[in-house]
A = this chain, B = another copy of it.
Amino acid sequence: MNEITSVERRPDGGPGPIRRTALHDTLVSHLRDMIIEGDLSPGTRLHEGQLGEQLGVSRTPLREAIKYLASEGLVELVPSRGAVVKRFSAKDVHDMLTVLQTLEELAGKLACEAASDAGIAEVRALHDEMVGRYKAGDRLQYYKLNQQIHSAIVQLAANVALVDMHAVLQTRLKRIRFIGHEGPEKWAAAVSEHEEMIVALEARDKARLSEVLGRHLMNAWERVRAAV
């Protein structure tokens, strides 16, 4: 997780530190991950000197990445005191889920109209794999596929603004969901809702898909409210 060079890639395994990804992007996703996974917990000050040394980068590009994350809402800029990891209250989380619910309802409607059959098939494939992970009890992979499915459905809606807004909220919520470990019965309910979603999508049933997505996120709040 340390040393930013670990993320840089070589063209074909040859030697030399050639990087494909721009450093800025690398830093942004690195820091994002650190925040989401809890390496940097809410309220923590982002110490430029220390953090820069840890990642093997000077302060300048690091500061630029921090500003980027500030605009994304993951960190807060305090004048003369640098940046701190933003802390979300229970109401904040509820607010985000409310908006996310509305956005996904919209996405459901649009997706039924705009999606290609191939696109729907891909979501189905993701879903099947997710169910497999569920049966195997692999929570982490389940969680990741879960997020991917929601993002995939939003992308089927073919509305870039919608994708953007959804991505921002999804990212802000990742840290929360990463923590919220629901019990077996709630987990089963979530999987069941997902099954409904896929069926509705394959039938291109706008009303139904929209309804299920909305309900799914309402329930999501019930699942995570204890954790916040």
Binds B, one of A36-44, A124-132, A156-164, A178-186: A156-164
Q: How many chain A residues touch B (Cβ–Cβ < 8 Å)?
A: 35
Kindly list chain B residues whose C-beta atoms are within 8 Å of the C-beta of A60: 60
Given A70-B71, A102-B102, 13 more A-B residue pairs with CB atoms under 8 Å apart are A22-B79, A22-B80, A24-B77, A64-B64, A64-B67, A68-B68, A69-B71, A92-B160, A99-B161, A102-B105, A161-B169, A165-B165, A168-B168
Question: Given that A24-B67, A64-B63, A77-B24 are contacting pairs, would A99 and B92 also be in contact in the complex, using a CB cutoff of 8 Å?
Answer: no
Partner of A162, one of B63, B95, B110: B95
Kindly list chain B residues whose C-beta atoms are within 8 Å of the C-beta of A96: 161
Determine the distance from Cα of A98 to Cα of B160 in the docked complex, in whole angstroms.
Answer: 11
CB-defined interface of A76-120 with B at 8 Å, one 1/0 digit per residue?
010110000000000010011011001101100010000000000
CB distance from A20 to the nearest CB of B (A): 10
Q: Is A149 an interface residue (CB 8 A)?
A: no
Docked-complex contact B102 and A164, CB < 8 angstroms:
no
10 chain-A/chain-B pairs, Cβ below 8 angstroms: A22-B79, A67-B68, A68-B71, A73-B164, A92-B161, A95-B160, A98-B106, A99-B106, A102-B102, A168-B168
Docked-complex contact A161 and B70, CB < 8 angstroms:
no
Question: Given that A24-B77, A68-B71, A165-B165 are contacting pairs, would A95 and B159 also be in contact in the complex, using a CB cutoff of 8 Å?
Answer: yes
Interface residues of A in 31-66 (CB under 8 A from B): 60, 63-65
Docked-complex contact A98 and B159, CB < 8 angstroms:
yes
Q: Is A72 an interface residue (CB 8 A)?
A: yes
